[in-house]
Structure 1
Amino acid sequence: MEGSNMPGSGYTPEEISRNFLSLVMMKYHEVLFFLGLIKAPGHELQSPKLQEAAQSIDQLEALKAKTQGNLTAEEHHALEHILTELRLSYLKVAKEWQSKKEGESQGEKKIEKPFETDSEKRKFFKSYG
C-alpha cells in the first residue's frame, strides 16, 4: 500500500511513531545509565557521569525543539514526560553526589588531624626522647 506511507520515507506513520518513541526510550535509558541509576547487564552500577547525562538530556531537548509541531499527541506527551522525569532524576542524583563528595571531603579533613592529639591513644606510643 504505497498510499499509506509517508512521502519519500518508505515507512508508515505508525512505523515512524514507533521508531521515534524507540529513539526517545533509548536516550532515556542512556541518561539513567549515566546517572548510575541502571546498570549494564553483567556489570555493577557505576558512579554518576553528570556531564554525559546532561548532554543526553540536552539532545532530547534539541529533538523536542526540532520536532515541534510535527509530533502526535502521544509522541509529544511521551517526550515531555520523559524530559521531566530525567530533569528531576538529574537534579536528585547531582544533589546526592555533591552531598556524598562533601561528606568524603569532611572525612578526609578528620583523618588529617594529628593522631598524637588524642591523649587516650598517645599512651600506646613508646617515647624515645
Structure 2
Amino acid sequence: MNKDQSRTLTQIVEALAGTRLHERKGGKFYFNFYLNSKAEEAPIETLDLGVRAYNSLKRAGFSTIGDLAKAIAKGTEISKIRNCGSKSCREIMEKMFLYQYNSLPQDRRESYVKEVILLNASKS
C-alpha cells in the first residue's frame, strides 16, 4: 500500500464525512464488503498485514481475501483464531476496510463511507 492508501479509518471518515467515530474498547466495526472476482482471488498478502495477523490467518487456512471475507460473512469470528488477539483482529478488519475502500471508484468512496457510518450508528 502506498502512503495515501494507508490512511487510517478515522482519517478517511473525518475527511469525507466530516464526523468522528468514537471507539469503545472491545467495540465492533461493521462494513459491507463487496466481493468481486479481483478481491476474491487476491492473496491475503495484498492486505499488508503485520506478521502475527498474517501468520494466524495462514495457519487458519485463509489464503485469499475472498476466503476471509466469506468466512467473516458466515459468522466466523476472527478473534477465535489461534494467536489472533484484539490488536490483530482490529488490524485485519481495518486493512479489509481499506482494501475495500481503495478498490472502489473515486466517485463511490464518499457514499461508501457514509453507508459505513450509518451501519455502525445503528449497531451501537
TM-score where L is the length of structure 1: 0.26
Q: Which structure has the highest helix share of the two?
A: 1
Q: TM-score, normalised by structure 2?
A: 0.27
